[in-house]
Structure 1
Amino acid sequence: MVTVTTRNKIRTSYSTHTDSEESATTQAAKIVNTLVSVILPDFWGTLKSSQSDTSDRRLLIACLTSILGIGSILARLKLLKAELQEKKGNAQNVAELLEVLDVVLQRDDFAQKIWTDINRLEAHAVRRTILWKDFVTQVASGRIISAAAQAENALRASGDVSPGPWLADGSGYARWLGRSIAAMAKTFAERDDTATTAAAQLLEKSFSLGYTSHIIEEIHINLSFARPSLLRNLRKVTEKLRVSDQQRFLQTTLSMLDSKFLQTNLGDGDESAGKLSKAIGGSAALLRDLASNNDRLQDTLVEWLTDDRSGGSTKLRRAALAALQTDEDRMQRVMERNMQQFGDPLFIKHTPIVQQEAIAQTLLVSCGYVHRALPMFLFTLARSSVHMNGVSNRLASSSPRTRWLGMVVGMSVSGLVDKPENQMRFDLEELETVEARWYRDLVHVNDRIGSINDLALNVERTKATSTSASEQPLQSGSRKSISKAALREPIASVPRCSPARSSHNYAIPAGLRIVELSDDSEEDDLVPYTKPDSDPEDDDPDPTLVQRNKPTAPVYIRDLIVGLKDTENYDRHSLALRTAASLIRRKANFGTEVTDHIEELATTLVGLNDTFELDDFHEMRQEAMIAVLLAQPAKMGQWFARTFFEGDYSMAQRVSILTTLGLGARELAGFKSDDVRPSSTKAEPSFPSKRLPDKLHKVYASDSLTVDAQAKRLAHTMIEPMALTAADKLSGPNALKVRTFSSRMEVEKKRTKAIPNELAKLVAQHFFFPLTGRWWTRVRAYGNDNLYFSPILLPAFLKTLSLLLHASGPSTLSLPQMTSEFWDLLLSVRSNALNDPAILEAVLFALLTLLDVNEDQRRLAQEHAKELIETQEWVKLVFERVSGGDEESERVRMLAAGVLVRCGEIVEKFQRLLMGDLVGF
């Protein structure tokens, strides 16, 4: 039947490096294909009977125990399954082939045997690697499970109700794969690094099956629990995995320990929080040995302990902390992160109470370990703002359970670091229950690292899942249980916490009262406080409207940001907004508060919405944004320019950014505040119906703090001298005019003191060119059909550039470059300006500003002759097309006339230069 020679020929399909390698492989494939397609259907029934010669059966299975054998069986099985589904095949052949595959793979050392054959029969290292990858793909990618399951379904559809093999069961196949990996690690990990890498590749690929917990559990059973010394082999295999797979292995191990071992007492009886547990000690030993000398796994353990979503029982967390107890740095990290998270307001408000309890338990246990190793570190951290504010945030919560956790943690930490007379105490019945005492005992937990044998002795009992006494401190019976309903009700009892004797300044919620602890013998020495003066708020007839806990104005930038973001507290939000500008200006040159938080502060102000419909909201926000710009002009000028184009903001918010740049630049240039900001005095309308409601009037009033208002003032300032000059020429000869002289004192009184123009040094690089450069980038990318050509943004953008140019002054070194850039930009939007009056007005104002600032008219005529002539001709066309009659048209005609006058002056004075004839000039 099947001889030893045939088996050896199939084995030599791995072949040595001879010239007949390809032919040998082809011959072996033909032999295996013959065995699977011819021999098995005809003789398997005879071979598996008890009367047959078992040696032939063993030889046949040995021939198929190879990569070629498994591949041939899977291909044949797929073909027979298809024929059976089409009612053309024989169900018995499919069942027998499944049985053969079962027999071939049932050995736990199957992967080890394949690896040994590959290394014994193949000399080339590269070919060995390729063959092993083929094998890993066959057994660990789901091909076998898929083929077996499909074949089983085909058998059932044909009427064969015989139970399918374990190969079609995902969990059973995963456990077999775990045993195969464990056998390889047990045999090779100590002496063969290449085999260890091969085992790691098989383990890594097996994670894709979706039965990771079954695989890892079987590996631990056959290595860690079988003989703890073999854990060294397992560690060598896991070190070859990718970092993400190492973390998955550790997290799955944690889940296995929690569900299989730590949910039962394992003979320890009724455990309290401080009693040692063999299950905890054994789990700690496994985790410590598994993560030994592996910083990545140890850091993963720290992240798991500080993640409120990681889950896990208290015993599992105790085991993880015990595994890290000798690593002082990581233990401190666990305690610090948990303390920060425990007191974080967002965590308190939005995290489920179950997760908050888990973090509190981990924090208390880690505090105990740190206190025993480094008591001064815990003492310092207990006095820090992180812990103090955290407990205060807890006590200020509206949730009774949250307040209860804060009091328990505060009392427990205080009991470790404070003297008995200074320890924090709350006189509440809820803090004297069994659960409260259990929580306070967690700081005294000191689990010792045991032996993995403590788990190995109870592997058979892992299916028993009884609830641990340490996990359920609340039990019925003789012990006093806590009323859950009572914990959910507001705490009406009076906590006793002596502020005079305690160094802790914790904020107590409104529902609690502070009572001084005193002895009767000392009552005579106590001086009572005087009766406070009457509060005007007490006169309110409705006592529910009395607000005692009024917020105070922020004194730190960090508090200001929190207040601006607090859109649920009207008083705090409005107070922060009212004081934002003054606080930022006051802190700008004092310390580094504004510098450290300036971008976050600017982002908060730009994205701020009028949630409470505050009076003067837009003015207050605008003042604060200008203060931010002036705090660091170079940095924030570029930031605001970038945000205008790239930020996800509304049009109104983008206009506010432009207003900040324009008005902030004028203030930086030294203009008076009353010149930048409109006067607070408002003229009353002649008739009430001519005025909008107050809320809408504040938004649409022309004297609001906007770029448009400042542009109108500036346009009037530039046109007024031209009008006066024209009127002066029409009034007659100069000889007939009478000139009045003022005294020297009156002249000096009117003369303004020169202020250094700080903007001139920064305007080009940090304000002007960042805006124009990004504008040109948008035009090249999207053309004229984009957001920045809208009738809302484009006028504001052009007027902002005009204000920047005017504020920088005629002495700015970069004025020629700015003039050239700005003139090209204005001429490029001529067509858009003719279609919209708002854009037309902005373009004319910008041209007037550009001509007014450039006092060197000769340079304009020499360097910008083409632009000057184009501007003059286009403005003439605008002046002719726009007819007067309404206020808007008259304003456009006035600006156009001003531009024509300026252009005419230059053309008339430098006409020869413009024509290129300099002779006689």
Structure 2
Amino acid sequence: MDDFLKPVSVRRTGGPLLQKVSATTTNGKPVHITSARQPFPPASPEEAFEILRNEPSYEALVAVLRWLSLERLQQGAFNIGRPSPTGSQIIQVLVTEIAPNYWDIFREDASEEKKGKKSTTLQLLLGSLQSIPGVNAALLRLRALTQEAKSEKKDVKRHDLNINLRIALDMLKDILDGADAVETIWKASNLGSKNPTQRRPLEQEFVTLLGSGRLVSWVAEAEDVIRLTSGTKRGSDSCWVSDGAEYARWIGRNVALWIGHGPSPEDAKLCSQLLARSLRLGYTDIVVRILVVKAEGSQHVKGGMLGPLLKDMSALDQRKIIFSLLKHFAEAHLNKLDRCETKQSQDIIAGVVTILGDIVEIGEGQVAHLVSWLTSSSGAGLGDGVGIRRAVVAVVAQQRDALIDTLEKMIAQFGDALYIKHSPLLQQEAHTQALLLCAGYVHRLAPTKLVMMTRYGAWLNAISNRLSASQERARFLGMVVGEAITGLHEKGDKKLDFHQEETNGDEGLWYKGLVCVEDKPGSLEALRPKTSSPEVQPKTVKKAPQSIKPQHKGPVRAPTQGFIIEEVDDDEDEDDDLIPYAKPDTDEEDSDDDATLVQKNKPKAPVYIRDLIRYLRDSDNYDHQKLALSTAPTLIRRKGNFGTEVKEHAEELASLLIGLQDKFEIEDFYNLRLQGMIALVVTQPEMMGQWFAKTFFDGDYSASQRGAILAVLGIGAREIAGFETSEYTAATSFPSKTLSDKMERLYMGSQSRDQLLASSNLKALPPNALDTMAQSLTTSFLAPLAAEAADKTTGPDVLKLSTFTSRLEQQQNSSDSPNVKRKQTSNKPRIRAIPNTTAQILYASFFEPLAARFQAALRSSSARTRAVVTSQPHLLATYIRTLGIVAHAAGPGTLALPAMTAELWRLLLRARGASGGDVGVVRAILFALLALLEVNEGRMRDICAEMGSEVVETMEWVSVIFDGTRGDDGGQGEEGEIKMLAAAVLIRLRDGVEKYRALLVGDMIGLQ
């Protein structure tokens, strides 16, 4: 037995305590265990995986990450980004074990090495995860933690769950960060792969991963979970991946940079697929804007960035991008040019023609999208200036057949009777400008073809229908088109000449001059962004150090020399007229117990518009926000008509005010913001009325912000018309236009200016100011009808619903009895139409843009555009109520009253279907009808003659509303108010029908 036990020496002769020993894995390959003192790179992916999963030290981890980075760059070596079993295992360990344990250390290393050029450990880790498997692993890790946090009970919570969620969120954000992240992710995943069979599924996964909304939605959900568990609010620390607009900008920048590098045809097609998939996020305009900026700055790439991308897209995606591209050019460059009559305007249009021409030249079928944009019922740039139409027509003119086909479609549409009657005049003006531009190009390219067009029946029918139109503006457009086109090829008496003052005026000559316009491609230099004005982006000015002077807190007593002067108190010599100074008021800022919290360097109120913009932009400063809001209404009104400060920065001011958020819970925040926007509309009505109307439909705003825009337009229109007076109006006058206090007391008596202002009815607007105005107008509309009905019935309440009901019964009985003599219900004198410039502004800048864009939205193929006015009944009701208020503010003296009446009446009939039977929308429609009838009280004969079918249809619909509504006798409640409004509308309509029945014989067939 002793032979089995032999002594063993335990003394070591030398060498390190820890040595490298070889082990064998399941596949038979040797795996080396890392020494704790001298870490070295692994010899194989399997060894790297073993090291990572066995809780490696920091030095060992760095060695493995560097090995993975070096191996990835070698051809034929192991690439962690390429999908493989071992690579997926390594990525899973990095995401689930290494990142949670070492993330804070990586962050510290990154901050310490920020100034250096070498790669940090964090960059090594992110480089290993910048691939399709890496992004998928990080996203699935975030998703798993989110589901775990949502499934846990409230009383049982893991304290580390929130920390791991934040780490996973930061890791995913850092993986995707950068303008070259998309290119890096694809190249890391596809490095060395040339097999099309393997490439195709990888492309589909790549496009689905980055182009769909899965990343945005999952990150947003994780942020909400973190916010709920930590009790914080959504603020500036939000991840940009959860913001759809920021994510769309990220895709646009990455695709633009990738295309700018000149990728292979396969990679260019992949960029096109990714861009087309990202359009489904709903931020097409943002993506296109990023690409266009790159296109304007690139001259070596044919068609900029968009040409190669559109080449491989479907027709639907091409159409979507081209329309968004035209919208960008109009808003960014061409709408500011007005009539485009300067040399600068021609250069800008030439640059736009160059970019559009390159895109169309790459894909010849894309010119069909431009033709569709010009000829569609809601196209040709509704509300935009003539510049975008000049650019598009110049591009279409490069293909002769497409140009001739466009002109034929435009002439047929221009003369269609239904189009003339039902299309908004703003839309007809845009199509007229495009028609004249196309006619000029056709005359220069194929004059014989233009002569033949004017001989066909379509042309003659178009002019005839235009001249017989009931709307004056429609007749004007027909006359200028007839004179301009016939003047191209006819001479002498054969040329049409209507000898009208309007066609020979400034506007008529400008319309007729469009046939002579010819735009050609030019340089892109005019489109390049210029240095911003210092007023818009003020620079930080460093103040010079001031010398500190000693401050004395009391009176300085001079040294006594020579005579000594002693003060003697004598009560008899005191002057009773001397009034002692009052004690200073208590400063609220000095009342704090902690002297360190007292702020003495308070910011001053802005006196220039540039300062106001700077204050509004500083959203993290409470004092700046409060001063800007309280000063904006007065400052904008004061500067509105003096200088060009407000006019130059009006749109920027409006954008800042609309998007302003109440982060500090400022007192009366929403009223001050509303008053600032109203001041912009009142001071610049022609420009800002159209801008707010366009922003309501096109802007990316919430329902409350869109409601504020409607309130601004309605209240602003009332103030411009003189129905309302703002509390800030008196503060807009300069001191040079006011009397001194002494002279004011002399001429104005004992009441001072402040007392007079206090005694007036100037009050702050309540949050529901628009509803209050509508209610007040409703009362004023119903008062005469109720008083007249009360004379024929009993009851002390003149606003009782029974009075309206009894009058309706009397009208019904009188209509059934042919021998009953009908008498006029009102002896109110007819109001004579007087030219009114204010009313014209309200119609052209407030009413027409709102009404035209609503009809264009209903016809739009975009579900998002239609949803602005159809998906939210409350917003639709507010919109209709605003139109009624604007129409009433314009008044009966509006020269365009017939056109406004016809357009609004037909819009209200169309809104019935979009409302879905909502009670609030029905009430708003009845209010707008009542406002129209009030304004057109002296035009009932014209209304019955021109709009007989609409009158009959309205009577039938309102009768159904009246009979189907159960309202109380006093008109209280929502249903009672609807029944009262329906009764008032029926009374006014039946008065007109009974009086002018002969004009409605054909339309009243079937009326019961």
TM-score, normalised relative to structure 1:
0.48
TM-score, normalised relative to structure 2:
0.44
When Rg is computed on C-alpha atoms for both structures, the one with the higher figure is 1
